[in-house]
Chain A
Amino acid sequence: AQTVTQSQPEMSVQEAETVTLSCTYDTSESDYYLFWYKQPPSRQMILVIRQEAYKQQNATENRFSVNFQKAAKSFSLKISDSQLGDAAMYFCAYRKSGNQFYFGTGTSLTVIP
């Protein structure tokens, strides 16, 4: 069974607009960690934002924020004021109490000038 699901293979957004990338996950644990990674054309995996499941407050990093819905097992990423440099593949990831990380299949984001 797929642990992390990203249902949007591709998304596009106008420059300066806001876009939301969706992610759902499957777990029976109560304590875990969630992440969004960005992979630009250089193919480096860059941490964008992280969320601890025990924290109710949604994480925010500058123009990036998440909507964490623990009961719904949903972890979406919102990018505000989109910039051309935001164009990349975005991967949602989940870490449970052990040392294993699980990644979704990714969402390719295009930013239209």
Chain B
Amino acid sequence: EPEVTQTPSHQVTQMGQEVILRCVPISNHLYFYWYRQILGQKVEFLVSFYNNEISEKSEIFDDQFSVERPDGSNFTLKIRSTKLEDSAMYFCASSGGIGQGHSGNTIYFGEGSWLTVV
């Protein structure tokens, strides 16, 4: 079964450093997402991306965050200047369109990138 892949699985970075988290969504999917989960808390929406632009973003997704789909297969999340409170599991996800059957209407998650800011 196709899957969403993420790299790295775990990254430790110093406060103030830039971090790029990478994702390869399922190939025929149209919508791409980043979610965040701070340890012990719920899954929080960061941003959704469709047709090469951000379609929706949350209050968490401030100016220090950016997303990019540089080459038609990768989908990246950049955090420009990390803060201690950015420590979390970051999930990439993708889904198809509503008309694409079960695969289309379901969101599939990668295994997550665990970011630790020290």
Contacts and interface: CB of A to CB of B under 8 A. Distances in A.
B55 interface: yes
A62 to B, nearest CB: 16
Interface in B13-49: 31, 33, 37, 42-43, 45, 48
Nearest to A31: B98
Given A97-B98, A99-B31, A99-B48, A50 B105 contact: yes
Contacts of A102: 45
Interface stretch (B59-67, B68-76, B77-85, B107-115): B107-115
B108 A99 contact: no
Chain B contact patch, size range: 20 to 34
Nearest to A108: B40
Given A47-B108, A50-B102, A99 B50 contact: yes
Main SS at interface, chain A: strand
Interface in B90-118: 91, 93, 95, 98, 102, 105-109, 111-112, 114
Interface string A24-56: 000000000101010000111111001010000
Contact of B111 (A37, A44, A52): A44
Contacts of A105: 42
A25 B74 CA distance: 33
Given A43-B89, A100-B45, A100-B48, A93 B107 contact: yes
A31 to B, nearest CB: 9
Interface of A: 33, 35, 37, 42-47, 50, 52, 91, 93, 95, 97, 99-106
Interface of B: 31, 33, 37, 42-43, 45, 48, 50, 55-56, 89, 91, 93, 95, 98, 102, 105-109, 111-112, 114
3 A-B pairs with least C-beta separation: A45-B109, A99-B31, A105-B42
21 contacts: A35-B106, A37-B109, A43-B37, A43-B111, A43-B114, A44-B109, A45-B91, A45-B93, A45-B112, A46-B109, A47-B106, A47-B108, A50-B106, A52-B105, A91-B43, A93-B107, A97-B98, A99-B95, A100-B48, A100-B56, A101-B33
